[in-house]
Amino acid sequence: MAAKGDMVYAWTNDAEIAKKAELGGAVTGLWKHALESKMVDAVFAIQKGKDLYDAQPVLITKAADLKNTAGSLHCGTLLLPKLIKKYFDGAKTMKIGVTVKGCDVMAFYELAKRKQINLDNIVMIGVNCGGSVSPIPARRMIKAKFDVDPDKVHKEEIDKGQFIIEYEGGHKGISIDELEDAGYGRRSNCRRCKYKIPRHADLACGNWGVIGDKAGKATFVEVCSEKGANLLNGAVKAGVIATEAPNPKGLEMRGKVEGAMFKLGDKWRRKDFTALGANLWETINKETSRCIKCYSCIENCPVCFTAADELIKGSLMVKPGELPPNSMFHMRRFAHISDSCINCGQCEELCPMDIPLALFSHAIRVEGDATFEPKLGKAAYTN
């Protein structure tokens, strides 16, 4: 029996799920058991829409439909918790299982702090996350760097530091470093992200640490809560999931990869924040002068609530009907989220004017956090 803190290699015994899954189908197999045992009423996951650049959120209530959600979509940049608040009443009356990346986990906690989500009704299976790629830049990248028609690509994956595509006529991989040096690759917020193994979910799943004959066929599962242990034990007992002890060398490797990802996040923070430097407010003023006041950054931010109401209705400081809005529109938003921004990138991703909003909010948050680390001082900001 697994308990909180345990780690196992896991895979599903369901052949149909295993065929579509990314790495053995433990995640989808666990959801199958969660639905069948009525641990949850529904599973909120991501599935492929028109093509692999079109990741769609879907609420599944029948276990037979889960197979469509198996597999990882690296161009899936959605944040699920705010959708649960908006469309499913914050899980107040329904038990929902959700596959989450690190930013989703943080968004759940921010929403719960603001009483917008009932975490008692949420089960989270986390997936390790090295980063995601915005769909439109991904298409551009595949054309420019891979010299392949993006519509001919039927599978993408990120493995051993490479972005790999399979397309009509072959497959190609290019190192993420090379792609990012050329201005492509992961979203800018993902490069700075240091929440790689989502240990605040109930289970944290990924491929880091799976070596030997199970490499590519099983998922490394870390049990992070009692709820997670119950789900895993129940699924094993029901025969949906099989597990074995992880290879000790794999454990060591997992730690090393996580450490390397932290260093990479630090490198990008140093680069991005240093470039903003002392001119942060000047840069914010210049960039936000393009704003068309569409409110998308407010609508999609998991920590932005009261500011939205005030700014939509207008206030003494932000006159209704004024375009671009005066700088107080943005200053109030940044101030209001300054100690809570989770660097999820939604504001930036969905801004029609391509204003680097997440960069600004993240810089403000990290600099604020640094004041609570007096021993590190400025280093906490740039490291």
Q: Which stretch binds ligand SF4 (CB under 6 A): 85-93, 156-164, 217-225, 350-358?
A: 350-358
Residue placing its CB nearer to ligand SF4 in the complex, 101 or 214? 101
Residue 74 contact partner, candidates ligand FAD, ligand SF4, none, CB within 5 to 8 A by sort of partner: ligand FAD
Q: 330 by DSSP, 3-state: which?
A: helix
- Please give the structure tokens belonging to residue 189: 């917020």
From 90, 131, 246, 250, residue interacting with ligand SF4 (rule: CB under 6 A): 131
Binding status of residue 190 toward ligand SF4 by CB under 6 A: yes
State the angle between helix axes of 357-370 and 248-276 in degrees (0 to 180), rounded to the nearest 10. 100
Q: How far is the CB of 298 from ligand FAD (least distance, A)?
A: 23
Residue placing its CB nearer to ligand SF4 in the complex, 70 or 297? 297
Residue placing its CB nearer to ligand SF4 in the complex, 144 or 292? 292
Residue type, 11: W
Q: Using alpha carbons only, how large is the chain's radius of gyration in Å?
A: 21
From 351, 363, 364, 366, residue interacting with ligand SF4 (rule: CB under 6 A): 351
Q: How far is the CB of 115 from ligand FAD (least distance, A)?
A: 25
Residue placing its CB nearer to ligand SF4 in the complex, 148 or 341? 341
Q: 302 by DSSP, 3-state: which?
A: coil
Q: How far is the CB of 174 from ligand SF4 (least distance, A)?
A: 19
Residue 346 contact partner, candidates ligand FAD, ligand SF4, none, CB within 5 to 8 A by sort of partner: ligand SF4
* C-beta separation of 95 from 39 below 8 A: yes
* C-beta separation of 159 from 228 below 8 A: no
Residue placing its CB nearer to ligand SF4 in the complex, 122 or 358? 358
- Residue 153, judged by CB atoms within 10 A of its CB (0-12, 13-18, 19+), counts as buried
Q: How far is the CB of 308 from ligand SF4 (least distance, A)?
A: 10
Q: How far is the CB of 75 from ligand SF4 (least distance, A)?
A: 11
Residue 193 contact partner, candidates ligand SF4, ligand FAD, none, CB within 5 to 8 A by sort of partner: ligand SF4
164-196: b (≥16 Cβ within 10 Å) or e: ebbbeeeebbbebeebbeeebbbbbbbbbbebb
* C-beta separation of 314 from 320 below 8 A: yes
Residue 21 contact partner, candidates ligand FAD, ligand SF4, none, CB within 5 to 8 A by sort of partner: ligand FAD
Question: Segment 65-124, which members bind ligand SF4 (CB under 6 A)?
Answer: 101-103
Q: Using the structure block, give the residue that is written with the tokens 């099989």.
A: 242
User: CA 211 to CA 363: how far, in whole Å?
Assistant: 37
Q: How many residues bind ligand SF4 (CB under 6 A)?
A: 37
Residue placing its CB nearer to ligand FAD in the complex, 153 or 291? 153
> Which distant-in-sequence residues (6+ apart) come within 8 Å of 180 by Cβ?
186, 191
Contact residues for ligand FAD (CB under 6 A)? Answer: 21-28, 45-46, 55, 69-74, 76, 99, 101, 127-130, 132, 158, 205-208, 219
From 99, 134, 189, 243, residue interacting with ligand SF4 (rule: CB under 6 A): 189
User: CA 352 to CA 322: how far, in whole Å?
Assistant: 18
Residue 207 contact partner, candidates ligand FAD, ligand SF4, none, CB within 5 to 8 A by sort of partner: ligand FAD
Widest CA span of the chain, in angstroms? 65
Alpha helices in the chain (DSSP H): 15-20, 26-36, 81-87, 102-113, 135-146, 176-181, 188-192, 226-237, 248-276, 280-288, 296-299, 306-313, 327-337, 346-349, 357-370, 379-382
From 210, 343, 356, 381, residue interacting with ligand SF4 (rule: CB under 6 A): 343
Name the site residues for ligand SF4 (rule: CB under 6 A). Answer: 101-103, 129, 131-132, 189-190, 193, 195, 291-297, 300-304, 337, 341-347, 351-353, 355, 357-358, 361
